[in-house]
């Protein structure tokens, strides 16, 4: 006879139907093992509900929401959830990103920067200061926690501070690229701090704005205070952007200890691990919303860091080429762009988030594009033909490698070779920074 501490279940499987009366504390694994033993199935199957939802193997049936009279299905092979659950999981992991809001805020941020750039060429100072005031006021309004897409507007608000600062301080006559970059970075960091203070706890993008702005401002300001050449600032920024591709993922993985284990409930023996708790406190299970929140935070951090790398390289790479005037510095700058682009492209392959991976690939290709334009502008007609031929050969090699990878050439051997290539590019990039910044030339001239 069925008691209160038991469940009557019907298990349908590949070898027939089995009616079981199991304890209420039994798990899906116990039911699957009992079905395999009674029916003679050679392997322990998976247990699903009648609707096709997988029942977690080590979870008690009562906690899974099962009651007496329910029908279970024992299946062999791989479990594949429904399309609805997969769609919901992707939306939750992505941090509830609205594509239209992302496109709109990105366009607004780019428009703000372009408005500040065009205003810097205005013939009247009053017009330039008016544009700067309008951009700053708009950025402050965007930083307020109001509206439906508050978080997206908060992320775009520091870009308005960049445009306002550039319009105010990049006028003709007292233009110095490191000084303007430091001022713009400080303005963006300040407005990001204001938006973070007024907003909610989903502030990973604003934290990246603050950290990136502080680093850029510190590098550029230090170069100005030490009266060094501008090429030193741009070399260091390219180097830091290259290193950030490896530092950002480690900073994004920040899981609280209480979400991993509960120290006062650690089992000592196998029997104590299987013992059911008798108090009011239930079994230690990490809630699914907590896991989603942790994944969403890491996703936002990595994506924002990749966007910061792209923005920094978008400014520093052309300035590095333009500020390198001595032949030795030019060689170092070109080598730095080549190895930095290669290191970033190789690092992008280890990113599992599609958005961050695409941003890093754009950053690496941008470095190589700037390098290619600089080499073509300085080369003669015969050299340009050689450069085009080399670029075409590299393109064909990349296409062949992409096709081979798509056909299944993904192994530990290739992964190790990619790791070695990334390490070599990073090492040569650090060495090229010494040459590009003029430090090698300084010691060479001092000892000659």
Give the domain extent around 25.
6-81
**Is residue 39 situated within a structural domain?**
yes
Residue among 319, 138, 299, 107 nearest 205 (CA): 299
Please count the structural domains in the chain: 1
- Torsion (CA) 15, 21, 26, 30 in degrees, nearest 10: -20
Position 89 scores a pLDDT of 41
What angle is formed at CA 288 by the lines to CA 282 and CA 290, rounded to 5 degrees? Answer: 95
- Pairing assessment for the beta strands 16-23 and 46-49 based on DSSP bridges: unpaired
How many alpha carbons fall within 13 Å on the CB side of residue 384? 8
Mean pLDDT of 422-447: 84
- Could you tell me which residues come within 8 angstroms of residue 350 by beta carbon, excluding any fewer than 6 positions away? 249
CATH of the domain at 48: 3.10.20.90
Q: How confident is the model at residue 350 (pLDDT cuts 50, 70, 90)?
A: confident
Position 78 scores a pLDDT of 52
**Is residue 77 situated within a structural domain?**
yes
**Is residue 24 situated within a structural domain?**
yes
How many alpha carbons fall within 13 Å on the CB side of residue 166? 21
Percent of residues, the chain, with pLDDT higher than 90: 23
Q: Is 69 left (phi over 0), alpha (psi -120 to 50) or beta?
A: left
**Is residue 406 situated within a structural domain?**
no
Rounded Cα distance, 117 and 213, in Å: 19
Residue among 295, 273, 279, 290 nearest 58 (CA): 273
**Is residue 402 situated within a structural domain?**
no
Range with the largest mean pLDDT of 73-77, 118-122, 277-281, 431-435: 431-435
Position 216 scores a pLDDT of 94
Q: Is the pLDDT of residue 236 over 90?
A: yes
Q: Is 348 exposed, middle or buried (0-12, 13-18, 19+ CB in 10 A)?
A: buried
Instruction: Quote the tokens at residue 167.
Output: 């319009």
User: Helical H runs in 253-351?
Assistant: 270-274, 288-323, 327-348
Residue among 311, 319, 301, 397 nearest 356 (CA): 301
**Is residue 368 situated within a structural domain?**
no
**Is residue 356 situated within a structural domain?**
no
**Is residue 61 situated within a structural domain?**
yes
- Of the candidate ranges 2-16, 181-195, 222-236, 324-338, the one whose mean pLDDT is the lowest: 2-16
Q: Is the pLDDT of residue 149 over 80?
A: no
Position 4 scores a pLDDT of 58
Mean pLDDT of 210-232: 91
How many alpha carbons fall within 13 Å on the CB side of residue 421? 16
Q: Are 164 and 132 in contact (CB under 8 A)?
A: yes
Residue 383 or residue 28, greater confidence = 28
Position 77 scores a pLDDT of 61
């Amino acid at each position: 006879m069925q008691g209160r501490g038991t469940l009557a279940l019907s298990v349908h499987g590949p070898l027939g139907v089995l009616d079981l009366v199991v304890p209420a504390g039994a798990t899906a694994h116990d039911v699957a093992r009992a079905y395999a033993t009674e029916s003679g199935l050679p392997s322990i199957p998976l247990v699903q509900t009648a609707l096709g939802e997988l029942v977690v193997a080590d979870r008690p049936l009562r906690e899974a929401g099962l009651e007496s009279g329910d029908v279970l299905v024992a299946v062999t092979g791989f479990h594949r959830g429904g399309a609805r659950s997969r769609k919901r999981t992707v939306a939750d992991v992505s941090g509830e990103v609205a594509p239209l809001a992302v496109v709109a805020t990105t366009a607004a941020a780019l428009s703000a920067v372009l408005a500040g750039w065009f205003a810097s060429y205005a013939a009247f100072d009053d017009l330039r200061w008016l544009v700067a005031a309008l951009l700053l006021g708009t950025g402050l309004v965007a930083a307020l926690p109001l509206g439906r897409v508050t978080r997206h507007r908060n992320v775009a608000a520091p870009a308005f501070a960049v445009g306002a600062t550039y319009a105010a301080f990049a006028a003709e006559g007292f233009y110095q690229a490191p000084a303007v970059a430091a001022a713009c970075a400080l303005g963006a960091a300040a407005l990001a701090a204001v938006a973070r203070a007024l907003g909610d706890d989903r502030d990973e993008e604003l934290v990246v704005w603050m950290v990136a702005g502080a680093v850029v401002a510190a590098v550029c300001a230090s170069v100005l205070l030490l009266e060094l050449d501008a090429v030193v600032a741009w070399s260091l920024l390219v180097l830091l952007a290259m290193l950030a591709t490896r530092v950002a993922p480690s900073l994004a993985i920040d899981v609280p200890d209480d979400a991993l284990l509960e120290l006062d409930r650690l089992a000592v023996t196998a029997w104590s691990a299987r013992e059911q708790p008798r108090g009011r406190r239930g079994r230690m299970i990490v809630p699914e919303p907590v896991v989603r929140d942790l994944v969403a935070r890491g996703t936002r951090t990595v994506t924002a860091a990749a966007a910061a790398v792209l923005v920094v390289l978008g400014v520093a790479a052309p300035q590095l080429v333009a500020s390198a005037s001595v032949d030795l510095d030019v060689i170092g700058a070109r080598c730095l762009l080549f190895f930095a682009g290669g290191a970033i492209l190789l690092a992008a392959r280890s990113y599992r988030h599609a958005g961050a991976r695409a941003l890093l690939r754009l950053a690496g290709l941008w470095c190589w594009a700037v390098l290619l334009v600089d080499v073509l502008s300085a080369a003669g007609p015969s050299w340009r033909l050689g450069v085009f031929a080399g670029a075409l050969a590299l393109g064909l090699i990349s296409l062949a490698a992409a096709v081979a990878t798509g056909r299944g050439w993904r192994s530990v051997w290739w992964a190790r070779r990619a790791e070695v290539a990334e390490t070599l590019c990073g090492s040569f990039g650090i060495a090229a920074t010494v040459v590009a910044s003029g430090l090698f030339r300084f010691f060479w001239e001092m000892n000659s």
